[in-house]
Amino acid sequence: MTLDEIRKLNPKDIGIWPWPAKVGALLLLLGILMFLAWYLGWNPQSEQLEQQRNREQTLRQEYSSKKAQAINLDLHIQQLKEVEQQFGALLRQLPSKSEMDALLSDINQAGLGRGLQFELFKPSQERLQEFYAELPVDIRVTGVYHDIGAFASDVSQLSRIVTLNDLAISYKDPKDTTTLTMEAVAKTFRYLDEDEVAKQRKAKEAQKAPK
């Protein structure tokens, strides 16, 4: 059909249209209906279907993860018990508040036992953490190289945890190449009792509370 013939078609009298025009009108109507069906129904449903597929994949992964955890539950419980035992063993290496003086005395005796002279042995202010307190002790000792090394080894082998930090070794006298001076910060630790732990937790909660 020509363009002029299409223009002469009367939309109010479709029955007398030629077959090519009827078929073309029918195809156009079907195309419009298909577009409306896709736009209003199929497209949103397709997006929802894709979302549900993604959600299904996520749920499957969560299920697999939880299933693996359930299968290994006994193993996790056993590992937790081992961690608690290890933590208890480490905790026993920390002195209580009443044992701190004895521990400081052990550090001092370790130096004297190696023939070292203490020029400084000054405990500083305790630094409280959540479950333990750290006590730095500024020390300065003099002696020969071998004895200073043996002292450091003795401190590391004490039954309680003591670390030597910020080590600095120099000649006591430039003219004397045998006598050395070692300055260090000996840090020891003690566990907090229940009252101290409660105070630390309250202080942390107070810091987090909105002002």
In terms of Cβ atoms closer than 10 Å to its own Cβ (0-12, 13-18, 19+), residue 186 is: buried
Indicate the residue type of 70.
A
Buried residues in 164-183 as b, exposed as e (16+ CB within 10 A): beeeeeeeeeeeeeeebbbe
Report, as ranges of residue numbers, the positions in the chain whose pLDDT lies below 70.
1-23, 25-26, 37-47, 49, 84-96, 209-211
Q: Per DSSP, what are the bridge partners of residue 182?
A: 141, 169
pLDDT at 72: 75
Please give the DSSP secondary-structure letter assigned to residue 98: G
Q: Per DSSP, what are the bridge partners of residue 168?
A: 183
pLDDT at 209: 66
Q: How far apart are CA 60 and CA 54, in angstroms?
A: 10
Indicate the residue type of 171.
Y
